[in-house]
Amino acid sequence: MATQLLSAAKCKNATSQGAGIRKLHDGDGLYLWVYLDGRKYWRMRYWQAGKEKALSIGVYPQVTLSEARKKHAELRHQLEADLDPSAERKATNLRKKLSAENSFEAVAREWYHKQLHTWTPHHADDVRRRLESNMFPLLGARPLDQIEAPELLQAIRKIEARGSYDLAHRVLQVCGQVFRYGIATGRCTRNLSTDLRGALTPHVKQHQAAVRPEELPDLLRAIARYDEIGDKQTRIALQLLAQTFVRTNELIGAQWVEFDLDNALWVIPAGRMKMKTEHVVPLTRQALALLVELKGLSGGSRYVFPGRNRDKPISGNTMLFALYRLGYKGKMTGHGFRAVASTILNETGFNPDAVERQLAHCERNEIRGAYNRAEYPPAPKRMMQHWADYLDSVGRRLPNRRHNILYW
């Protein structure tokens, strides 16, 4: 290497001496460029394939003289190996960029935003939280194609260590979808979640509590008296939940625009449904009367069940806590109304497929898309009216003279 000409003191005190740029040579192609405004940069000049080239090494004084000489020596080794330092730097930066773009977090977020329009807000929040809380801190920065099965398993087992066995399976399922998306977009070649089958602690799914059919009358009578200990809106919510046996989040998120009262139909948009298919609920005489009562309580909100903030619906726990207050903690949940309706309607002799469709457990191919609501199939309407009448018959009847009907 050529004699080194610079010293720490010379670098510190160097000026451009009135020139736009002054180049201070340190030997073997290393320079300190000093600008008129006092800025100083390290640069290396070299020849490659008969052409003169230059490469930036860093900014002085962030990069000291000794550090600049060390970087310069590394670049000279590349030249001795017939490598172009400029091309090597571009390749390294490209690899870093691709690594960042192909990281588990980057691919997961890309997949997440692709799926977002098909999910309910509640499910979208669950998926995002599962990734951000459990996977990104451990695997987020790792390139997707470099993650190995034991590494993924170690991350999932940290969830298991908290006793969250169900969550561990759900997070692994989400990871599997990310890897499948990675395969489809060329970021990886294997879905590691399939390699972990049988490696997680089995989760015994517990069904949500539901009363037995013979216990339903007492529950209905207790709900009918809820006004004595709670608010009327919650009582009606529980009654409509029993009437329609939709999912709790489908009921609490209901908006008035979804109701066609003239044709006695409630059309829940696909975006709010678990199965991502528009769901139609025939409204019985009893349900219509409850909706009339609710209209006077909604205070002009677009939501059928507005919370304290009229621009938002009630909490998802409102009805569950109401059941607690009625003495049904551990005995009944909002989802339990679906179970008891399914049991009784099937035992009554209704077509099992019709019951499943009304529970929105499958796509409603024969009703999907546009339809004439005035000519909505009569069979579901008959089944729902039978169910409402049955609830009347087993619950305590309370006269409602204004609507000339009986409801609990």
The DSSP H or E segment spanning 21 is strand 21-27
Widest CA span of the chain, in angstroms?
107
- In terms of DSSP bridges, do strands 279-282 and 40-48 run parallel, antiparallel, or are they unpaired? unpaired
Long-range (24+ apart) CB contacts under 8 A made by 68-77 are 68/26, 68/30, 68/32, 68/42, 69/4, 69/26, 69/30, 71/42, 72/28, 72/29, 72/30, 72/42, 72/44, 73/1, 75/44, 75/46, 76/1, 76/28, 76/29, 76/46
Q: How many CB atoms lie within 10 A of CB 10?
A: 13
Cα distance between residue 171 and residue 156, in whole Å: 8
Angle of CA points 341, 325, 345, to nearest 5° = 5
Given the residues 123, 128, 158, 274, the one annotated as active site: 274
DSSP 311: T
Q: Can 361 be counted among the known catalytic residues? A: yes
**Tokens encoding 365:** 């191919």
Q: Can 371 be counted among the known catalytic residues? A: yes
Q: Can 180 be counted among the known catalytic residues? A: no
Query: Residue 199: which of 180, 179, 176, 182 has the closest Cα?
Result: 176
Q: 270 with 278: CB under 8 angstroms?
A: yes
> What distances in angstroms separate CA 286 from CA 142, 234, 247, 258, 394, one per listed residue?
57, 16, 19, 18, 14
Given the residues 71, 338, 357, 376, the one annotated as active site: 338
Given the residues 109, 180, 190, 335, the one annotated as active site: 335
Sheet arrangement for strand 40-48: 21-27, 30-35, 40-48, 51-60
Q: 236 with 290: CB under 8 angstroms?
A: yes
**Tokens encoding 90:** 């571009």
Q: Can 338 be counted among the known catalytic residues? A: yes
Q: Can 112 be counted among the known catalytic residues? A: no
Given the residues 96, 162, 361, 396, the one annotated as active site: 361
Given the residues 25, 371, 390, 403, the one annotated as active site: 371
Q: Can 71 be counted among the known catalytic residues? A: no
Given the residues 247, 272, 279, 357, the one annotated as active site: 247
Q: 144 with 187: CB under 8 angstroms?
A: yes
Burial class (CB in 10 A: 0-12, 13-18, 19+), 109: middle
Which residues are marked as active site?
247, 274, 335, 338, 361, 371
